Amino acid sequence: MSSPGIVLDQELLTAAVEAAGFMPADEGRALAEAALAAPDGPILEVGSYLGKSTLYLAAAARARGGKVVTVDHHRGSEEHQVGWEYHDPGLVDPHLGKIDTLPGFRRAIAAAGAEDVVVAVVARAEEFAALWAAPLAFLFLDGSHTDESAQRDLASWTPHLAAGGVLAIHDVFPDPADGGQAPYRIYRKALESGDYVELTGCGSLRLLRRSPAS
């Protein structure tokens, strides 16, 4: 856990606010503060897109004297594909005709001067989870928002969360009119398991602490 008086790295926090992406500034800061206050141990993010949320976590990681590990296949979620609401033609690799967010992600991390604290893994989250061994202090789930993939992320990564560690889930909307329901359903599943107690979140960001006995 961070020592009293440790504060977020302000340069990285500013870079996160200015970076391209979808996370509101108040939710991003809440994410960073929660990571800063988490127990000692690794911070891991599932789903990095162009690096906005990664930079919020990096602001905490640098202040803690640690790193943030982020895993993403960088081919985009369903909503980023052609014909979907969040499709950006500028992110399509002209040679392959596929979404590729890795170049934009790398530019954002480099421009912010965060390459020393960000460890980027290009892989499917569930495949990397099978190789991961260290107990996590902080786990942020913000990958693809289909039910199948959200449930898979929850099932593959939460076993790695240490007792007392924090699980953060983004885009949790109880009302379907506000957004997709997959993140809400994994949030409810985690909470109803009895393994977590809820912390104060912000907007669509939910924070759960794993119970010591779970």
99 - beta bridge partners? 92
47-71 burial code (b ≥16 CB/10 A, e <16): bbbbbbbbbbbbbbbbbbebbbbbb
Distance CA(137)–CA(195), nearest Å, equals: 15
Rg (CA), the chain: 16
Distance CA(35)–CA(49), nearest Å, equals: 19
Q: Is 145 one of the annotated active-site residues of the chain? A: yes
The upper half-sphere exposure of residue 51, i.e. CA atoms within 13 Å in the direction of its Cβ, equals: 31
Distance CA(35)–CA(61), nearest Å, equals: 8
Catalytic-labelled residue, pool 74, 145, 160, 170: 145
Cα of 85 vs its chain's centroid, Å: 21
Closest CA to 23 of 68, 46, 55, 67: 55
Residues contacting residue 130 through CB under 8 Å, at least 6 positions apart: 156
Q: Are 66 and 47 in contact (CB under 8 A)?
A: no
- Which residues are part of the catalytic machinery? 145
